[in-house]
Amino acid sequence: MTGTRRAVADTVRWLMARGLYAGTSGNVSARAAGGMLITPTGVPCDDVSAASIVAMSADGTARGRLAPSSEWRIHLDIYRRRPDVGAVVHTHSTAATALSCLRQPIPAFHYMVAKAGGDDIRCARYATYGTAALSRNALAALAGGRRACLLANHGLLALGQDLVAARALAEEVEALCAQLIAARAAGRPVILPAGEMKRVRAKFATYGPRASLR
Ligand SMILES: [Zn+2]
């Protein structure tokens, strides 16, 4: 478990290095035996270390000296409902958060949208941060095996079979959001038809050694 604690802390650093995570605005978790390991609440990302990662059991009981991230419910509920998911990354990265304030899905303006598991990336309905309502809304937006969604007026959620896959998807979705903002500033993006997105998803499923969750 020490190795996973370090991997969670390293993921925070990886996200910081790419400008996706700053201050205390984000959280990272990984599935662990009997529950999960998650970043603590209120600890600036510069100070997050393996020792500060909080262990939480499947019933929501936290162990250790620090309290878990205020969004622990979303993480725990995802692990309960999604056996395919081994890690969750949540950020307030700029472009994804900007688009979340429009409360609209990210349409199939680019084939890479299919990386998140659908023809679009949904925006979960707004609820106050840290509430069970927000967790329910996020799970609804992720229904159908989707691996990413926006949270209205809040940020981004990315899932993966492990931390490397989840952080890569968070980076990818943030890039897509920046591209969509740029395309809309220049004109009206053409949306790819459903048949094309289906073809792309089928290609992703067979491309590379672990393509389905990368
Ligand atoms: Zn947040």
- 101-116: b (≥16 Cβ within 10 Å) or e: eeeebbebbbeebbbb
Cβ proximity of 127 and 77 under 8 Å:
no
Residue 205 banded pLDDT, cuts 50, 70, 90: confident
> Kind of pairing, strands 87-91 and 35-38?
unpaired
Long-range Cβ contact pairs of 63-67 (< 8 A, separation 24 or more): 66/40, 66/41, 67/40, 67/41, 67/42
Q: What is the pLDDT of residue 189?
A: 98
* pLDDT digit string, tens, across residues 99-130: 999 999 999 999 999 999 999 999 999 999 99
Q: Which of 148, 213, 138 is nearest to 174 (CA)?
A: 148
pLDDT of residue 46: 87
SS3 call for 98:
helix
Distance of CA 153 from the midpoint of ligand 1 (Å): 10
Could you tell me the CA-to-CA distances from 16 to 13, 25, 28, 165 in Å, in that order?
A: 5, 11, 12, 16
- Predicted confidence at residue 209, as pLDDT, reads 61
pLDDT at 206: 86
pLDDT tens, residue by residue, 135-175: 999 999 999 999 999 999 999 999 999 999 999 999 999 99
Q: pLDDT digit string (tens) for 61-78?
A: 998 889 999 999 999 999
Give pLDDT, residue 68.
Answer: 96
Whether 214 has a pLDDT exceeding 50, the answer reads no
Q: How far is CA 132 from CA 59, 88, 128, 176, in A?
A: 14, 17, 9, 28
- Quote the CA–CA distance of 214 and 165 in Å, as a whole number: 5
Mean pLDDT of the region 75-91: 97
Distance 95 CA to ligand 1 centre (A): 14
Alpha carbon of 71 to ligand 1 centroid (Å): 7
User: How many angstroms separate the CA atoms of 7 and 173, rounded?
Assistant: 21
Whether 196 is catalytic is no
Q: How many CB atoms lie within 10 A of CB 96?
A: 30
Inter-residue contact 114 to 204 (CB < 8 Å): yes
Q: For 8-51, how does the pLDDT look when each residue is reduced to its tens digit (9 = 90+)?
A: 999 999 999 999 987 778 999 999 999 999 999 988 888 999 99
Point out the catalytic residue in the list 71, 172, 174, 196: 71
Work out the pLDDT band at 207, boundaries 50, 70, 90.
confident
Residue 182 Cα to ligand 1 middle (Å):
24
- At residue 212, the pLDDT reads 46
Q: What's the pTM?
A: 0.94
Model confidence at 213: pLDDT above 60: no
Those residues whose C-beta lies under 8 Å from the C-beta of residue 79, and which sit 6 or more positions away, are 31, 35, 36, 58, 85, 88
Which pLDDT score is estimated for 210? 56
Give the residue from 106, 107, 90 showing the smallest Cα distance to 154: 90
Q: Whole-angstrom Cα distance, residue 7 to residue 18?
A: 17
